Amino acid sequence: MPVTAIVGAQWGDEGKGRMVDALAGNMDWVIRFQGGDNAGHTVVNQFGEFKLHLVPSGIFFPQTKCLIGTGCVVNPATLLEELEHIEAAGVGTDNLFLSSRAQMLMPYHRLLDAAHEGRGKGSMLGTTKRGIGPAYSDKSARRGLRLGDLFHPDWLEERLEKAVAFANRELAHYGQPAVNPADLFEQFRLWRDKLGHRLIDPLPVIRDAYRQGQSFLLEGQLAAMRDLDWGTYPYVTSSNPTATFAPVGAGLPPQALERVIGVVKAYTTAVGLGPMPTDQGENEAALWLREHGHEYGATTGRPRRCGWLDAVALQVVAYLNGFTDIAITKLDVLDGLPQLKICTGYRLPDGRSIDYVPDTPLYETVEPIYESWPGWPANSTSQARSWAELPAAAQAYLNRIEELAGVPIRFVSVGPARDEMFEVNR
């Protein structure tokens, strides 16, 4: 398939990184199409375990070109740290390129994110404090700086002054010291020297590669339930993780996208605030999932909120993304549980039930409607390498998810390592 997108189907951390790593070896390009270093995409392979923040999860295949796409916000300082870490593990990074049109995430974006989050409980969103919201705000307000600007110092200086003046007004509002643009120029020189050789303009490079029939894997960050337009606004990220945006962020035409793989964790987790109807709080089931699934944020280390699979949200997300395939991850984490639940509807306070995700003020009030499914406490899925080797109760659970989502399950993973997954052939 020339163009495939891999996107999160829940609230993030579904295992997108490991899915991209599994398919990247056969691709000409892997392109991260949105987000910034708020991502934590875990890849476990022969080089070790990596928590990738900005670098596409195809980096481990030297023949696969990796691009941080135009839809991303790039913090050059943390990217350089990430590259050092990857290279120290013996992985070459000559195959990494950056779109010259991607936004530069500046040190003041991080300061502003932290200041916004520090306003007290009523205003907090629970962000990763990586500066993502302020960087995308500057992009939309058309005062953002792009990586390619590093090669145009006069252009950059003029625009930096405007951007910094704006940031300083906001920082002053929060009682924070002002940023000095002259200090930033030192960093620009360093970033240009260290990253400049990786910059490409996706026009014409991606256009020509597409016309030649090269293959592309478009890697999403976060997930549809945190989509700026369709997620639990305002408890969302500041970009669009849905596949619809993938061609925009990558620099491809919309009809290029032939396959959309939704990565679905066998249960639900979220970090950050906002509604998640199947959240089990701190009950026995939640603690089981957190401990057996090691559900702590890859970027911030925060304990993830855990709960049962939400098939209402999944069905909506499958629709919005146009999923052609589902990849189920972390099925092994359910090994040992005697009973499982799937949320199949939401009840509103007036007693009516609905089959879609309503807007946030109403979403905060819904009660999940569950159906129960038997677990497979006497069996394990972790050794399974085919559908036939799964316990019958696990097959029944997955069949039901497939039915509720209306999309075929094509991959199942039962452990974090590269070989701990299989393609479904029934």
Contact residues for ligand IMO, defined by CB under 6 A: 8, 12-13, 38-41, 125-128, 130, 132-133, 221-222, 226, 235, 237-238, 271-272, 298
Q: How far is the CB of 333 from Mg ion (least distance, A)?
A: 15
Close Cβ partners of 208 (under 8 Å, ≥ 6 residues apart): none
Q: Name which position in 7, 11, 13, 60 contacts ligand GDP (CB under 6 A).
A: 13
Query: Does residue 42 touch ligand GDP according to CB under 6 A?
Result: yes
Q: Which is nearer to ligand GDP, 8 or 69 (CB)?
A: 8
Q: Which is nearer to ligand IMO, 271 or 384 (CB)?
A: 271
Single out the residue of 269, 365, 216 nearest to residue 9, CA to CA.
269
Query: Does residue 17 touch ligand GDP according to CB under 6 A?
Result: yes
Round to whole Å and give the CA distance between 306 and 313. Answer: 15
Q: Name which position in 4, 7, 11, 13 contacts Mg ion (CB under 5 A).
A: 13
Round to whole Å and give the CA distance between 163 and 146. Answer: 12
Q: How far is the CB of 40 from ligand IMO (least distance, A)?
A: 4
Query: Does residue 298 touch ligand GDP according to CB under 6 A?
Result: yes
Q: Per-residue x/- marks for Mg ion, 280-319, CB under 5 A?
A: ------------------x---------------------
Round to whole Å and give the CA distance between 423 and 409. Answer: 9
Q: How far is CA 351 from the centre of its chain?
A: 35
Round to whole Å and give the CA distance between 115 and 263. Answer: 33
Which of Mg ion, ligand GDP, ligand IMO, none does 332 bind, CB closer than 5 to 8 A by kind?
Answer: ligand GDP
The 3-class secondary structure across 91-139, one letter per residue, is CCCCCEEEECCCEECCHHHHHHHHHHHCCCHHHCCCCCCCCHHHHHHHH
Q: Which is nearer to Mg ion, 13 or 82 (CB)?
A: 13
Token readout for 272 is: 């950050």
Round to whole Å and give the CA distance between 162 and 37. Answer: 25
Query: Does residue 332 touch ligand GDP according to CB under 6 A?
Result: yes
Q: Strand, coil or helix: what is 281?
A: coil
- Is 279 assigned a catalytic role? no
Single out the residue of 331, 346, 348, 302 nearest to residue 395, CA to CA.
331
User: Considering 21, 28, 37, 41, which one is annotated as catalytic?
Assistant: 41
* CA angle, 243 then 387 then 407, to 5°: 30
- Is 332 assigned a catalytic role? no
Q: How far is the CB of 337 from ligand IMO (least distance, A)?
A: 23
Q: How far is the CB of 271 from ligand IMO (least distance, A)?
A: 4
Q: How far is the CB of 234 from ligand IMO (least distance, A)?
A: 9
Query: Does residue 76 touch ligand GDP according to CB under 6 A?
Result: no
Round to whole Å and give the CA distance between 50 and 44. Answer: 6
List interacting residues with ligand GDP (CB under 6 A).
8, 12-18, 40-42, 44, 294, 298, 329-330, 332-333, 413-416
Show which residues are catalytic: 13, 41
List interacting residues with Mg ion (CB under 5 A).
13, 40, 298
